[in-house]
Amino acid sequence: MYYFCCGFFSLSSMREILITCETIPEDDSFEIMDIQLLRRQDIYPSKDVLHEVLGEIYDVLDTLENQATQGDLALTFNWHYYRDSSAWLCKVSYKKKTVCWLSVWDGFFQTSFYFLERHLEGIAGLDIDNNSYTIRKEWGKMIPLIFRINNKNQLPHVFKMMEFKKKSK
């Protein structure tokens, strides 16, 4: 058997990743988990911090935020540290309505939309490539729809989903 080391691994002064101990089976039938960043409560995800942890992908996030906060979408982005997830998450909202949640991962950022079953037919009717998002197992009555974003070509799909969520009841 091989062992995956555990400990706190620092990639830079602002980016720390907690890697948990796991035993890796010899048959390589394991799945490598994605690593969520922005876990330190004392480091607010300012533009400088986001640029540091995302690298080249920061430009994609910056474009998403700039376009979503202007024009017809008029969304707001609010970062908050959530103790239950032990990470900084960004609540993207329109007035009082939560449109999606944004989280930062190693190599990408993620937008998570939550819908009821009655919205699935409307989502299927959107002009969005089905391979651009993942629908996860129901979470209570809500169905998570997740975009893993690492390039600007994905943004038109995300904007369409933001518009749909903003208008859905």
Please write the tens of the pLDDT for every residue from 6-60: 333 334 333 333 333 233 344 454 456 889 999 999 999 999 999 999 999 999 9
Q: Can you tell me the mean pLDDT for 162-168?
A: 96
Looking at domain 47-167, its CATH class is alpha beta
pLDDT at 70: 93
> Mean pLDDT of all residues in the chain?
84
**Both tokens assigned to 62:** 């910056």
Span 133-153, average pLDDT: 91
pLDDT at 2 over 50: no
Tokens 């390589």: give the residue.
28
Neighbours of 20 (CB within 10 A): 8
Retrieve residue 28's tokens: 């390589």
How far apart CA 130 and CA 159 sit, in angstroms, is: 15
% residues pLDDT > 90 (the chain): 72
Q: What is the pTM of this model?
A: 0.80
Quick check: 161 pLDDT over 50?
A: yes
**CB 100 within 8 Å of CB 94:** no
Is the pLDDT confidence value at 83 over 70? yes
pLDDT of the residue at 140: 83
Question: pLDDT at position 32, please?
Answer: 65
Q: How far is CA 137 from CA 36, 64, 91, 124, 143, in A?
A: 20, 26, 21, 17, 7
Q: Which of 24-28, 69-73, 123-127 has the lowest mean pLDDT?
A: 24-28
Average pLDDT of span 66-75 = 94
Residues facing 146 on adjacent strands: 112, 134
Q: How confident is the model at residue 150 (pLDDT cuts 50, 70, 90)?
A: very high
- The answer on pLDDT for 143 being more than 90 is yes
CA pair distance 41, 81, nearest whole angstrom: 6
- Beta-bridge mates of residue 94: 97
Q: What is the total residue count of the chain?
A: 169
5 against 145, higher pLDDT:
145
